Amino acid sequence: MAVAKKKPAASAARGSAPQKSSATKPVSKSAAKPPSKPAAAKPAAANSGSAKSNGVTAGLLPALSREQELAAYKQMLLIRRFEEKAGQMYGMGLIGGFCHLYIGQEAVVVGMQMALEDGDQVITGYRDHGHMIACDMDPKGVMAELTGRRGGYSKGKGGSMHMFSVEKGFYGGHGIVGAQVSLGTGLALANRYRGNDRVSLAYFGDGAANQGQVYESFNMAELWKLPVIYIIENNRYAMGTSVTRSSAQTDFSKRGISFNIPGEKVDGMDVRAVKDAGERAVKWCREGNGPFILEMMTYRYRGHSMSDPAKYRTREEVEKVRGEQDPIEQVRLRLIETKRATEDDLKKIDAQVRAVVNDAAEFATNDPEPDPSELWTDVVR
């Protein structure tokens, strides 16, 4: 079900005809890096264009192949339908505790995953179901964890924010805001020690970007040239607080400047822009140049968590983003308009995705709860 990860030697998107679209807006690297550095993340000539409503500039992007677009469509749709189902099951009382949905932000994880190779690592905060599915973790195991069942990734004892799969390169799921940034930096330190050429991705939000440990991590990562990409998912709100109320510097792509870490602002609603920027950042890290920051301009359609009355924004604001920038709809329209897929092709994918999600929900409803003796396992006594 996963989108194909980039193979070391070739990317089907590289060298393809560029398409007019939104693109990344690089922060001046010449100011941030010493002149001896290789120019891996040099601004693309195509990036000079008009400003979009989400703060990035319109420019040219490498096209995705039909297969890549279809795979991205399917994967984003799987995340969306999974999250919608989780929301319904929460409403029915089948899921308890915290539950933070990723609806609206799907292009970020799916595009980044397309830029990775096997063995690369992902770590994130509590809004993590999409990251797990993008890492090809089994939707049944994720949903069963949400319902607290035996077949869940943490045997039903962790819940929404606490899942893990070393096999799939997913290192959690963390409820402490910003903690994953230090941990992701640690993953990169381990990779540097092992000399294994792996890159780790540490995802965090605009709110987490104001945590002190983020900057301690930035300092060490650049000092030791650690292969870590810091992905700031700027969905404009930290719980109910908008970035303009909480942040002195709202351009998060610049947050690495005082540490000499380059950064780019990316249209996180366009899977092509994410993949394109992700590939540049991965290359930068893999070549031993140290960390890279990607600020993804994105948006969450649902509340912060299931209990959010969302009084801090208007319904019109949500509907405007959904109507104009929806990441899944963008791919759908592109496939139809370029006649690379028919409505029937896409309906088939929709049906496949619904079947996977329904199976996951059924499993998560019928799988038994953990035995009470499990209370004494997997804990330090």
Ligand X SMILES: Cc1ncc(C[n+]2csc(CCOP(=O)(O)OP(=O)(O)O)c2C)c(N)n1
- Over its C-alpha atoms, the chain yields an Rg (Å, rounded) of 20
Closest CA to 121 of 70, 69, 180: 180
Of residues 25 and 174, the one with the C-beta less far from ligand X:
174
State which residue has the least CB distance to ligand X: 205
Residue 237 vs 259, nearer CB to ligand X: 237
Query: Least Å distance between CB 102 and ligand X?
Result: 8
- Identify which of residues 181 and 188 has a Cβ nearer to ligand X in the complex: 181
CB 204, min distance to ligand X, A: 6
Distance of alpha carbon 293 from alpha carbon 291, whole angstroms: 7
Q: Which residues pair with 19 in a beta bridge?
A: 61
Name which of 76 and 243 has its Cβ closer to ligand X. 243
Q: In terms of CB distance, is 206 or 276 closer to ligand X?
A: 206
Angle between helices 179-194 and 212-223 in degrees, nearest 10: 20
- With b for 16 or more beta-carbon neighbours within 10 A and e for fewer, the 127-147 pattern comes to bbbbbbbbbbbbbbbbbbbbb
CB 145 within 8 A of CB 82: no
Smallest gap from residue 125 Cβ to ligand X (A): 6
Q: Least separation, in Å, of the C-beta of 331 and ligand X?
A: 23
Q: If you count them, how many residues does the chain have? A: 381
Tell how far CA 253 is from the center of its chain. Answer: 16
Q: How far is the CB of 208 from ligand X (least distance, A)?
A: 4
Interface with ligand X (CB under 6 A) = 127, 175-177, 204-208, 235, 237-239, 304
